[in-house]
Amino acid sequence: MIDESPLAMPQSVQKSRISTKQWQILLVLGSSVIVLLLLGLCLHFISSGAFDPWAVGVNRASPRPAPPCLSQACLKAAERLSASADPFAQPCDHFLFTCSPKEVLSSRLREKHRGEAEGQSGRMQGERWRNRGRNAGRARESETFAVTPSVQSAQRTAVLQLIREILESRDSPGPENSAEQKARRFYSTCLDTERIEKAGPEPFLKLIEKLGGWAVFGKRHRSDFNATLSLLMKDYFTFPFFNVYVGSGPSKNNTGHQQKYIQIDQPDIQIPVEWISKKPIPIPRKKKVQDLRHFLLSRVQLLSLLGVPSSSTSQHTGMFVQLSSELAQFTSPLLYRLEHQLLYHRLTVRELQAQAPAIDWLGCLRAAFHPLTVRESDVVYLHNLPYITHMSKIIQKWRFTKEFSHSDTLHTFMILSLLNTFVPALDSRFIEIQRNFSAVLGKTEEVVPRWSHCVQQTEIGFNTVLQNLIRERVGVAEAEDLMHSVYSSLKSDLADLPWRNQNPSILHKVMSLSPRLSRYTEFTTKENLDEQYSNVPIIEGDYFSNYLQLLILRRKNRNKVFSHMSISNTFAVTPHLTGNEIHFPLGMFLPPLFHASFPRAVNYAVLGTLMAKDILHLLMPDIQAQSQAPETVSQCVWALYGNLTGGPDRAQRAPVTPAQHWETWAQYTALQIALQAYQDSLTQQEDTSLSGLYHNRLFFAAFSQVSCDFELHYDHLPFADSFLLAAICMKSDFCPQSMICTQNIPEHFKQSC
Which is more confidently placed, 741 or 7? 741
Q: What is the mean pLDDT of residues 642-648?
A: 65
Q: What is the mean pLDDT of residues 258-270?
A: 90
Q: Is residue 286 pLDDT above 60, yes or no?
A: no
CB atoms inside a 10 Å sphere around CB 589:
29
Q: What is the mean pLDDT of residues 626-638?
A: 90
Q: What is the mean pLDDT of residues 210-231?
A: 87
Q: Residue 322: which of 258, 397, 426 has the closest Cα?
A: 397
* Measured CA angle at 370 (ends 201, 253), to 5 deg: 125
Per the document, the length of the chain is 753
pLDDT of residue 445: 75
pLDDT of residue 279: 47
The enclosing H or E element of 89 equals none
The three-state secondary structure class of 734 is: coil
Question: CB neighbours of 219 closer than 8 A, spacing ≥ 6?
Answer: 213
pLDDT of residue 415: 95
Q: What is the mean pLDDT of residues 622-627?
A: 92
Which range, 19-28, 398-407, 504-513, has the best average confidence (pLDDT)?
504-513
Q: What is the mean pLDDT of residues 475-490?
A: 96
Q: Is residue 102 pLDDT above 80, yes or no?
A: no
Q: Is residue 451 pLDDT above 90, yes or no?
A: yes
The three-state secondary structure class of 473 is: helix
Residues 449 and 166: their CA atoms lie apart, in Å, by 17
Q: Is residue 478 pLDDT above 70, yes or no?
A: yes
Q: Is residue 468 pLDDT above 70, yes or no?
A: yes
The three-state secondary structure class of 516 is: strand
Q: Which of 24-38, 220-234, 503-517, 524-538 has the lowest mean pLDDT?
A: 24-38
Residues 380 and 362: their CA atoms lie apart, in Å, by 11
Residues 81 and 576: their CA atoms lie apart, in Å, by 30
Please state whether the peptide bond connecting residue 282 to the residue before it is cis, i.e. omega within 30 degrees of 0: yes
Q: Which of 270-274, 673-677, 734-738 has the lowest mean pLDDT?
A: 734-738
Residues 590 and 570: their CA atoms lie apart, in Å, by 13
Q: What percent of the chain has pLDDT over 90?
A: 48
pLDDT tens for 342-379 read: 999 999 999 999 999 999 999 999 999 999 999 999 99
What string of H, E and C letters represents the secondary structure of 133-166? HHHHHHHHHHHHHHHCCEHHHHHHHHHHHHHHHH
At 3, the pLDDT band (50, 70, 90 cuts) reads very low
The answer to whether 240 and 417 are in contact (CB under 8 A) is yes
Q: Is residue 95 pLDDT above 60, yes or no?
A: no
At 518, the pLDDT band (50, 70, 90 cuts) reads confident
For residue 325, the 8-state DSSP code is H
Q: What is the mean pLDDT of residues 239-252?
A: 89
Which is more confidently placed, 490 or 121? 490
pLDDT of residue 440: 83
Residues 312 and 218: their CA atoms lie apart, in Å, by 8
Question: CB neighbours of 735 closer than 8 A, spacing ≥ 6?
Answer: 53, 54, 696, 700, 728, 729
Q: What is the mean pLDDT of residues 432-442?
A: 88
Residues 472 and 519: their CA atoms lie apart, in Å, by 11
Q: Residue 708: which of 154, 117, 71, 131 has the closest Cα?
A: 154
How far, rounded to the nearest angstrom, does the alpha carbon of residue 219 sit from its chain's CA centroid? 50
Q: Residue 608: which of 730, 484, 513, 512 has the closest Cα?
A: 484
Give the predicted TM-score (pTM) of the model: 0.80
pLDDT of residue 134: 38
Q: Residue 487: which of 507, 513, 508 has the closest Cα?
A: 513
Q: Is residue 239 pLDDT above 80, yes or no?
A: yes
For residue 105, CA distances in Å to 80, 703, 730 come to 20, 20, 27
Q: What is the mean pLDDT of residues 552-567?
A: 82
Q: What is the mean pLDDT of residues 460-475?
A: 91
pLDDT of residue 132: 36
At 175, the pLDDT band (50, 70, 90 cuts) reads confident
pLDDT of residue 60: 38
Q: Exposed, middle or buried by CB within 10 Å (0-12, 13-18, 19+), for 222? A: exposed
For domain 201-425, the CATH architecture is: Orthogonal Bundle (1.10)
Question: CB neighbours of 513 closer than 8 A, spacing ≥ 6?
Answer: 487, 577, 580, 581, 582
Phi-psi label, residue 30: left if phi above 0, alpha if psi -120 to 50, beta otherwise: alpha
The answer to whether 506 and 451 are in contact (CB under 8 A) is no
pLDDT tens for 489-498 read: 999 999 999 9
Residues 218 and 216: their CA atoms lie apart, in Å, by 5
pLDDT tens for 716-726 read: 677 777 788 88
At 21, the pLDDT band (50, 70, 90 cuts) reads low
pLDDT tens for 380-391 read: 999 999 999 999
* Measured CA angle at 255 (ends 253, 256), to 5 deg: 70
pLDDT tens for 126-172 read: 333 333 333 333 333 333 333 456 888 889 999 999 999 999 987 76
Which is more confidently placed, 599 or 692? 599
Q: Residue 132: which of 99, 163, 178, 180 has the closest Cα?
A: 99
At 269, the pLDDT band (50, 70, 90 cuts) reads confident
In the chain, what's the furthest Cα-to-Cα distance? Answer: 152
Q: What percent of the chain has pLDDT over 70?
A: 73
pLDDT of residue 177: 86
Residues 125 and 130: their CA atoms lie apart, in Å, by 9
At 31, the pLDDT band (50, 70, 90 cuts) reads low
At 270, the pLDDT band (50, 70, 90 cuts) reads confident
Question: CB neighbours of 731 closer than 8 A, spacing ≥ 6?
Answer: 751, 752
Q: What is the residue type of 689?
A: S
The enclosing H or E element of 55 equals none
Q: Exposed, middle or buried by CB within 10 Å (0-12, 13-18, 19+), for 138? A: middle
Q: Residue 504: which of 612, 614, 627 has the closest Cα?
A: 627
Mean pLDDT estimate for the chain: 80
What b/e string do you get for 723-750 counting C-beta neighbours within 10 Å, with b at 16 or more? bbbbbbbbeeebbbebbbbeeebeeebe
Q: What is the mean pLDDT of residues 172-201?
A: 92
The three-state secondary structure class of 8 is: helix
Residues 25 and 425: their CA atoms lie apart, in Å, by 94
Q: What is the mean pLDDT of residues 90-97?
A: 55
| Torsion angle in degrees (nearest 10) through CA of 204, 206, 212, 215 | 60
